[in-house]
Amino acid sequence: MKVLLVEDETELRRAIRQYLQDEGHLVESATDFPSAMEKAQLHSYDAVLVDITLPKGNGLDIVRALRKADNACGIIIISAKGSLDDKVQGLDLGADDYLPKPFHLPELVARLRALVRRKQAKAQDSISIEALRIVPDDRLVEVDGARLDLTGTEFDLLHFLAVNKDRVLSRSAILEHVWGDLAERLDRDDFLYAHIKNLRKKLAAQGCDGLIKTVYGLGYRMSERA
C-alpha cells in the first residue's frame, strides 16, 4: 500500500515510517504543509496520514484539498489536539478516521487496514492464517470452513492480533484497542490473560492451536506455527 505520512515531529515520523515499511507498505513523508500539498497533488496514494498542527499550515486544509479534487484515498487524521471539534470537523471534511495521539503503532496498522478494506469494498475481504479465516465485515471466524463462536471481545482480540500478524503486540496496545479507555482501569495482566486463554481454548477445540504466542514479559504475537 502506498502511504503519505504528513508529520512534522521527526522522531514520530521515523517511528511510523519504519513500522509501516516493515509491514510492507510504501511510505513517503512530508514535514510541512506546502510539501505535503505538493506530494498529495502530484502523486496518488492509497492512504494519507495527516497531522493537524503543521508548520506553515493546517492539516485539515490538506483533507479539504484532497476531497475537493475528488481524491478517493483513505485519510486518517493523527492529532495531539484531541478536541472533539477537530475530530468532528475533520470527519466532516471527508477524513475517514481520527486517531488521537498518543496511539500505539499496531492500532494505526489496524485502522489503515480497516480503511483500505472499506475503500476497496472488496467483497469478502478476509484474513487467513493457516486454517483460520477471519471475515471482518461479517465478524465471522472460521476454522477449516467451520464457524467458530466467539464473543465480541474475543473477536476484537483475535482480529487485532491477526491484522498485526507476525508482530509483537504489547499488552497496552491490545488492551487499549479492545477495551478503549477502559483499559486503564483493568487489573491488566490477569484480565488480558484470561481472555487470551479463552480464545486459545476455543481455537484449540477446533484443532487450531499454537497460533497465539506469548512473548515473555512483553505481550502476544500471532503467527503461523512453522
Partner 1 sequence: MKLLQRTALYQALLALPMIVVGTAIGYGLVRHTVTHELDEALADHAAQLRERMHKTDLFLEITTPDMLVKVAPGTILSEQFSDTVMYDTLAVEDIPWRIGRFPATQADGNAAVLTIGRSQLETDDLVMGIAMSIAAVLVLFSLFTLLLFRWLSSRLWRPFHANLLAMERFRPDSPTPPLAPSNVDEFAGMANALGGMMANMQRDFTAQKRFTEQAAHELRTPLAILRGRLDQLIQNPSLGERDAEVIQGMYTASERMGRTVSDMLTLAKVGDGEFLPQKVDWARMFREEIALLSDLISASKLTVEINEESRCVIQLHPALAQLLASNLLRNAVQHNVPNGTLSLAIARESITVRNIGPALSLAPATLFDRFAKGDPSSTSPGLGLSMVKEIAERNGLRVEYTVADGMHVITVQKG
Residues at the interface with partner 1 (CB under 8 A): 9, 11-12, 15-16, 18-19, 22, 80-84, 100-106, 153, 167-168, 170-173, 179, 181-182, 184-187, 191, 194, 215-219
CB of 19 to partner 1, least distance (A): 6
Alpha helices (runs of H) in the chain, residue ranges in sequence order: 10-22, 33-42, 59-68, 84-92, 105-120, 152-163, 171-179, 188-205
CB of 164 to partner 1, least distance (A): 10
Which strand (E) or helix (H) includes residue 47?
Answer: strand 47-51
CB of 156 to partner 1, least distance (A): 11
The amino acid that residue 68 corresponds to is: K
CB of 105 to partner 1, least distance (A): 4
Q: Which residue lies nearer to partner 1 by CB, 143 or 168? A: 168
The answer for residues whose C-beta is within 8 angstroms of residue 76's C-beta and 6 or more apart is 47, 48, 49, 50, 95, 96, 97, 98, 99, 108, 111, 112, 115
* Cα-Cα end-to-end distance for the chain: 27
Q: Which residue lies nearer to partner 1 by CB, 10 or 128? A: 10
Q: Which residue lies nearer to partner 1 by CB, 120 or 153? A: 153
Q: Which residue lies nearer to partner 1 by CB, 71 or 89? A: 89
